[in-house]
Structures are given as C-alpha cells and as structure tokens.
Amino acid sequence: MPARPLFLFFASSLFLFFPIEWGYRLAYGQTFRGLDVLLYMVLPLVLVVGLLRVTKFGWYTLIGFIFLLGLQDLNRYYSAKGNPLGLFSHLGIYLFSLSYFINPRVRHLYFDPKLRWWRTKPRFETYLPMITRCDSLWDYPVMKNISEGGCFIETKKLGSITETISLSIPLPVPLSVSVIHVEGEIRWISGAENRTGMGIQFKNLTPKDQFALREFVRLGL
C-alpha cells in the first residue's frame, strides 16, 4: 500500500506560509510582539508537525489555529493595519485546508489509528490467486502483496472506498488452515494502468485465521 497520502503533505505544508511570511516581514523591519511570535511562528510549525504525524493533537491544533488566526486577521483588516491581499491569502489557505481535512475519510484518520495504513506491519510481495465477493458479484483477482493487516489485490473490478468485501485466500501450504476467509474494507484504489486494484484492510479475523496469516507472512510465502 502507498505511504502517507501525498496530498496530506501538501495540505499540511501550506501552513509554513505563515512563518515564511513573517520572516519576510521581519527582514524588512517589522517588529514582533510576543503574541505574533506565538501565532505566526511557533503555532504553525507545531501544527504542521501534528498534521503530518496524523494525531488528534494536530487536528485540534488546526481548528484552534484557524479560529485564532482568523480573528487576528479580521481585527487587523478592520482596524486598517493589514492589507486585503494578506487577508485573502490567509483565507485561501484556511478554506483550502479545511476542505481537505474536514473530509470524513481524512478526518477519521486522526481519530482511528486502524485507518493509518502506512503504519501497518511489513508486507510481502506475492502472486496468489484468490476469490472475492462484493454483494453478489464474484471475482478472481491476484493478490500482489500482504501483511497481517491487509493486502493489495490486482483486479479490474473496482469497488468503492470503505466498501466491505469478502475474501478467500488459499494458502500455498497448509498451516493451521488451508484457506483464510475474512472480511475486508476497501481502503484505497489504484487506477494506474500497470497497477489497477484495491488496498484491502482485514476485519474481524478469527484467532485461527489470524495465527495462520501471521505464519504465512512470517514465512514470506
């Protein structure tokens, strides 16, 4: 599965605009108050780290930052101490970032560690046939890699993100079971021409199947 979403890096890095902007103003002789240093230098850096680490602290800092800076920007604008261009550039960052981070699938990443697929255990390349069923539709894709937490299947029959799918994974050698039957949730979709398929997160593995899967991954079969 892919690493942390690239768009998350982009949306988080936008907040570096604030310390860069104020560093520029400092270079041109503008003086800082203590509150300005906190709001425009320290807090944005803390926010970027929190967002990139995908923590609840990062999410709450985002809301607090936009609230505090929004009030500060409006105060500067209406007291004629700021220029409209600065206000609108800040508003653009607020609106763009919120439109991304408030998306339910992105927001849930910050509150449910199970959804952070880039932190899953090591996975291994495979080339195993398997059987899947989504509603009443059956498919016979190829599993390209697997870990204890999920797998990537190569198929042209793509479902929807968060959709539940049933998987039957035949093991190349008998362990405690010969076939693992498990439910999975579609976590991401690849439409690349040479890699069309879906990343699946396993759900509700039985202890017996979990043990077989752990052994399967450990042996790198």
Among candidate residues 92, 114, 136, the one where a domain is terminated = 114
pLDDT of residue 2: 44
Domain co-membership, 139 together with 92: no
Domain co-membership, 182 together with 206: yes
Is 41 inside a domain boundary?
yes
pLDDT of residue 63: 92
Contacts of 199 (CB under 8 A, 6+ apart): 1, 2, 117, 150, 151, 152, 186, 187, 188, 189, 190
The arithmetic mean of pLDDT across residues 123-147, rounded, is 86
Residue 113: DSSP 8-state: G
Check whether 193 has a pLDDT greater than 80: no
Is 1 inside a domain boundary?
no
Tell me the percentage of the chain whose pLDDT exceeds 70: 88
CB distance 181 to 166 below 8 Å: yes
| Domain span including residue 36 | 6-114
Domain co-membership, 211 together with 138: yes
